[in-house]
Every structure is written in C-alpha cells, then in structure tokens.
Structure 1
Amino acid sequence: MNDTHHSKPIAVLWERVVAGDTSAAFLEAQGIEVRLGRPNLDPAYRTHRAQDFIEDLQGAHGVLISGGIRVSADVIHALPDLRVISKIGIGVDTVDIDAATAADIAVCNTPHGNDTVYVAEHAMTLLLALMKQLHVWTRPYMTGGGWRSPATFASSLDERTVGIVGFGRIGREFARRLSGWNVRILVHDPYADDVPAGVERVSLEELLASSDAISLHCPPLPDGSPLLDASALARLRKGALLVNTARAALVDRQALLAALDAGQIAGAAIDVFDPEPPASNDPLLTHPKILSTPHVASWTHEAFFGRRRQAAENLAHVLLGRTGASVVNANRLKMHDRKA
C-alpha cells in the first residue's frame, strides 16, 4: 500500500471543479489533502479512461466522482489505499458495489435535496412537450417558414393512461404531478410495497399494453440487459410515447429506432445516453420523432452545488471517522467509518 503514514487523508476530486464549487475548500478546512483529477488538469479531457483514473488515485484514500467514470472491480483492485468512493447523485450503478464492499470501501451517494422533484418535473415537461409536438414546432421550423398544418396535430393528456416503471422517490413525485390531469396512472415496481389512491399497480406486460405514455424511473437491470428490448417495445400500445430520464441501458436503442420508424411508437423523449455526451450524428439526437435533452433532468443551480457539497461531506465523514455519511453499503462493511 502507498502513503500508509501520510499525515493527512487524501481525497481526489476527479470531477471538474467549477467556480462556486466549495467542495475543495470544505475538505481542506476539515484537514484533508485535496488533489485534482485529470479532468481538472486537462480542459479537453472527456474520455474518462480507467487507467487515467487509477493513476490519478494512487495513494488516495477517497475520491469524489459523478457518472463519467465506471469504477469496476479491476479499478478497485488497483487502488489498495482507497477507503471511500463518494458519488455525486443518487444512482451508484457505475460503481461495482460488491467489489467495493469486499475491499472494505464505503460507497456514498447524495439522496438528499430536491433532485427527485427536479427529475419528476423534467419528465413531466418532456411528456407534455412530446404531446404538444414541441420537438416538431421548433424555432428553426418557424424561421424556415413552417407553420401549423394538418400534417401534424398536438395531443392531450386528458383521459389518457400513463404508465410509470419504477415507483421510488422520483416515480412517486412524477405520479403526484400527474394527479389532477384526469389521467389513469399505472405503476410497475416489484419492490413498491404501497401505492397511493388513484394509482394502479400492474404487471409490466399490462402496463406496456395499456399505456398511452410510459415514463421510466427505475435502475438498470442487474445483468445490464435492456428492460425495453424489441419484444417489450412490440407489446406497447401502438402510437405510445416513451420518456426516459433514468438510464440509457433500460432501452435497446436499435429496437427503439426501429419502433419509431415503424410507427409502433409515436415519439420518445430522452435525457440519458451511453456514451455521454453522444456523437453529434447519433440517431437519438437526429431522429425526427425524438426529443433529446443533455442529461439535465436535475441540472439546477441548487442541485448541482448541493450535490457536490453533500458528496464532499460524505467524504469527510468517512475519512475522519464521523457518522452522518450516506453509505449505500454500510450494513455490509466491516469498518467503513475508520480513519484513513
């Protein structure tokens, strides 16, 4: 192991630090040595290579990351000094939790704040934008001489059926925003113990067959396979709409494009991609029936800086042996609260 007698715990801020971000100053005030990762040292850095990550973290006890880097078992095995991985955001599917736990590394996330509200609002906005054809009636469309015509009509949520896949915090917030719109709300989530009045819990098959629009709010499947593959998309009600603010891996991209071309799906709104950012000629950006946003469902000033501060606090709590960190694998660790 490296730096075993270092006087201070060392934390690497892998993600790019921007003006107004107090995470580095906060950690230094706690007596933690802060090092900046490669994305901060090279303004053009975008590829998030595992080997670069490993090199930057040699001797480090903690790291702050977002979703740009995948912390695999191989990465974890190459970092024997690491004690905590602090993830910005709720999802930790980019980290091999089992490998981290086996190495006695705490994996933290930032579940607090209003991220669930922001994502639910964005999903609702995307759904309404699809129904109102805002991906068609754009500024370039109008400046190019386009105007309303019988070739394109908007639709309405009134008396429609909306299916929600995943009924955790975000799915519930999304359902709450649908209440009052005179819609039937269907939910599929095998782990949801209770659903509020006005929400029907159904199988995935029934949800696909019955919904005029579907919004995804669940984690990816453990094996990485798409939840909505060609077979599942074929079971959708013809002309349905799809909104994905969750994870790109949930939908088979080729099957989605084929379903859009065939008219099985009338439109899709996507906020998540793999890789990110996508290439400028990616069909998910250029297809006329797709409304795309650049992974901004929770991209608010409050959320951006709040998540980073929470992630820094998680790092400090674990590295300094304090309680209060949001540790997703806490009940499986031996000594996740020990000092570095």
Structure 2
Amino acid sequence: MSDVRMRVLVTDVAWPTVDVEREVLAAAGAELVLAPSGEPAELARLAGDADAILTCFAKVTAEVLEAAPRCRTVARYGVGVDNIDVARATELGMVVSNVPVYCVDEVADSALLGILALARRLLPLNRDIVRGGWGRDVPGAGTRLRGKVLGLVGLGVIGSALAARAQALGLEVIAYDLSGRPVPGVRVVSSLDHVLAEADAVSLHVPLTAATHHLIGAEQLRLMKPTAWLVNTARGPLVDNEALLAALDAGEIAGAALDVTDPEPLPADHPLRRRDDVVLTPHTAFSSDGSLAELATRAAANVVDVLQGRVPATVVNPQVLTSPALRRGLEPR
C-alpha cells in the first residue's frame, strides 16, 4: 500500500491468522509485518523499521528493543509481560501494554476442567479404554468434590471466576491474595503456607515475576496433603518441575493439572508426559473462538492508541509516560 506510513512487527502468534489485527491496524494506516520464526536475531533485524511491536510468546529482548530506533510501543497479546524486557523498553521511552482481561471464562473453565479430570480419574480410565480395556483394572475410586477445599493463590478476575464455579459444585474456597479484594464466599487467609496445608486442590493465578519464580518448590509441595492436587494455568516457571516430579513419586501430593510448563513445550521424553496422575494441555487455556478475536482486537487497539498519540487502555510501565525519554508525547484518553 502506497499510503502506509507505519509498520507494526508481529513477532509470533498462536492462532491461524492475523486478519483481525491486520484490519485494525490498516484502518489506522499501519502495515502488519509477521516475523517468519520469532527468533531473537530475526526480530532484531526486522525491528529496524518498526514503529511498534506486537508479541505473543517470543522473547522481546533488550537487543531487539535496541535495534528498533523508531519503535514507540511494545504490546503483548495477553496478560503476562515476562517475555518483554520492560525495564529496557522504559529506558528507551517505549510504552508497554498488555490485555489483562480477555480470557477469564476460558482459563477459569480450564482450571476447573483440570480439577474435574483429576477427581474423576479421567486420564487413567481413558488410557485404559484406548488400550482395549474397560477401566475395571484401574485401581482406586474417584473423589467427591462437594465439601472439599479449593485453595487459590491469587484472587484476581480469573481466580474469582474459578471461585464461583467451584462454589457451584459445593467446594469451599480459600485464597491467599495480597490485594485485599473481597470476593463473596471466599475466605482469605494470611499466608501461602496456610492455603497449601488446608486445600484439597491448589490453583495458581499469579503473574510470573522474580518473586514468584518457583513459588511452588519442594518445601511448598511438602506442605500439601498427600491427597491434594496442584493446578497451574498461569505460568510454567511458577512451579519447579523437578520438585513436582519428586513430590509425585514420593506420594507427597496426588496429582497435577498443568496447562503451562517450564520449558514449553516439554521435551518429548519428559516424564510428566507419561504419568496418569498429571493432566497436561499445551498452554491453550486462554484459547477459544471468542477470546482470540477479543485478544487480537484489544492488543492491536493498544498499538493504534500509541501510534495516534493516545495512552492505551492498559499501560504496564506508566512511569514512561512522564519520562523525558518517551518517544513522542501522548495525550490522555
């Protein structure tokens, strides 16, 4: 297009097309450029003439940012920004944005699905049927959920949505959350250790930061009941995989449901893949026909806002807005 004046580099996507965001950007006079592989060296090369960067899972490193002298904003498809060097972006005057609310129902449903699959022993029974059996030789019975305790680590919008779903099934819900946000029917406790010790299922709903890396390790897993399950639909590195394997082998906990792992994907021969007490999904809890369209629209709109001189709906690094380094001034909405 001869009238295109701005270029937006899309580092990677986890869905079939970029038609939605391409349309949003084109309406603002911006051209979408999709990186072939999302590798850092490739991104650094393509970032040279980018006015903005849209990223899903690819690492937007300091080197990529430093190779982008025209870039005014880095927008994340999603909630967490651990794949972006936010500190360096701020130093360079780039606005970093995210989409914190778009897949609440999907992730809450997925966390509940993991709990239900573990409680009803879906995986070992299904595997036995696939092998030609009929489940008669699979030892053990399912678990009645009514009256059990769900422990939430983090009580944001997704944790709150899961709480409502769990309460509908008759579970008591407790939570460890630093925000002080009240949620009907949820008993907030004073420590992570309290949640781990009391809960029959523990579900993680916190961002990945330096403070939460390996939040659940060997010491924390030993606090859990031997009949309890761990559910992670947030970020893989919140859990120490080696400690989790050791705890499962030792019978310190009864199982896990993981939509996220560290690394992703897990190696083909990783022992977590072969266990009947571990339900794995490939980081797709966020994904549905409705959530993906909403995500693409909101992330692209954040880019357009910055390119047109407005503050986007959600700014991760608000201090950049008053920094002398800010690349072009932004007017409030």
Structure 2 residue aligned with 1:136: 124
Of all paired residues, the percent bearing the same amino acid is 33
Amino acid at match of 1:13: V
Q: CA deviation at 1:209?
A: 1.0
Query: Is 1:211 matched with 2:208?
Result: no
Structure 1: distance between partners of 2:224 and 2:101 = 34
Amino acid at match of 2:28: Q
Tell me the secondary structure at the aligned position of residue 160 of structure 2.
Answer: helix
Structure 1: distance between partners of 2:177 and 2:22 = 39
Query: Is 1:10 matched with 2:14?
Result: no
Q: Which runs of 5+ in 2 are unaligned?
A: none
1:301 pairs, out of 262, 271, 289, with: 289
Closer, same or farther: CA 22–323 of 1 in aligned 2, 3 Å: same
Amino acid at match of 1:88: Y
Structure 2: distance between partners of 1:206 and 1:19 = 44
Closer, same or farther: CA 189–112 of 1 in aligned 2, 3 Å: closer
Tell me the secondary structure at the aligned position of residue 268 of structure 1.
Answer: strand
Q: CA deviation at 1:143?
A: 4.5
1:262 pairs, out of 250, 253, 258, with: 250
Structure 2 residue aligned with 1:45: none
Contact 1:21–1:305 under 8 Å retained in 2:
no
Query: Is 1:194 matched with 2:191?
Result: no
Structure 2 residue aligned with 1:291: 279
Closer, same or farther: CA 150–7 of 1 in aligned 2, 3 Å: closer
Structure 1 residue aligned with 2:24: 26
Q: CA deviation at 1:294?
A: 1.1
Tell me the secondary structure at the aligned position of residue 123 of structure 2.
Answer: coil
Amino acid at match of 1:185: V
Closer, same or farther: CA 244–38 of 1 in aligned 2, 3 Å: same
Closer, same or farther: CA 7–267 of 1 in aligned 2, 3 Å: closer
Query: Is 1:58 matched with 2:58?
Result: no
Tell me the secondary structure at the aligned position of residue 123 of structure 1.
Answer: helix
Name the Cα RMSD after superposition: 2.2
Tell me the secondary structure at the aligned position of residue 315 of structure 2.
Answer: coil
Contact 2:203–2:230 under 8 Å retained in 1:
yes
Query: Is 1:100 matched with 2:89?
Result: yes
Contact 2:228–2:254 under 8 Å retained in 1:
yes
Contact 1:54–1:78 under 8 Å retained in 2:
yes
Structure 1 residue aligned with 2:78: 89
CA deviation map 1:185-237 (0-9, x unaligned) = 11011233434334232311111111111011111242563001111111111
Structure 1: distance between partners of 2:92 and 2:296 = 25
Which stretch has the larger CA shift, 117-126 or 25-34? Answer: 25-34
Runs of 4+ in 1 over 6 A off after TM superposition: none
1:119-158 equivalences under 5 Å are 119-138=107-126, 141-149=129-137, 151-158=139-146
Contact 1:21–1:308 under 8 Å retained in 2:
no
Structure 2: distance between partners of 1:283 and 1:220 = 24
1:37 pairs, out of 35, 38, 47, with: 35
Structure 1: distance between partners of 2:48 and 2:27 = 22
Structure 1: distance between partners of 2:281 and 2:159 = 19
Structure 2: distance between partners of 1:137 and 1:262 = 22
1:208-287 equivalences under 5 Å are 208-223=196-211, 225-287=213-275
Structure 1: distance between partners of 2:56 and 2:230 = 26
Structure 2: distance between partners of 1:90 and 1:225 = 16
Closer, same or farther: CA 336–158 of 1 in aligned 2, 3 Å: farther
Structure 1 residue aligned with 2:100: 111
Q: CA deviation at 1:277?
A: 2.4
CA deviation map 1:123-152 (0-9, x unaligned) = 011101111001111155345224234712
Closer, same or farther: CA 139–234 of 1 in aligned 2, 3 Å: closer
Q: Which runs of 5+ in 1 are unaligned?
A: 1-5, 40-47
Contact 1:168–1:192 under 8 Å retained in 2:
no
Tell me the secondary structure at the aligned position of residue 49 of structure 2.
Answer: coil
Contact 1:12–1:62 under 8 Å retained in 2:
yes
Structure 1: distance between partners of 2:212 and 2:39 = 20
Structure 1: distance between partners of 2:117 and 2:157 = 23
Which stretch has the larger CA shift, 155-164 or 145-154? Answer: 145-154
Tell me the secondary structure at the aligned position of residue 326 of structure 1.
Answer: coil
Structure 2: distance between partners of 1:178 and 1:206 = 19
Structure 2 residue aligned with 1:319: 307
Contact 1:127–1:269 under 8 Å retained in 2:
yes
Q: TM-score, normalised by structure 1?
A: 0.88
Structure 2: distance between partners of 1:337 and 1:108 = 16
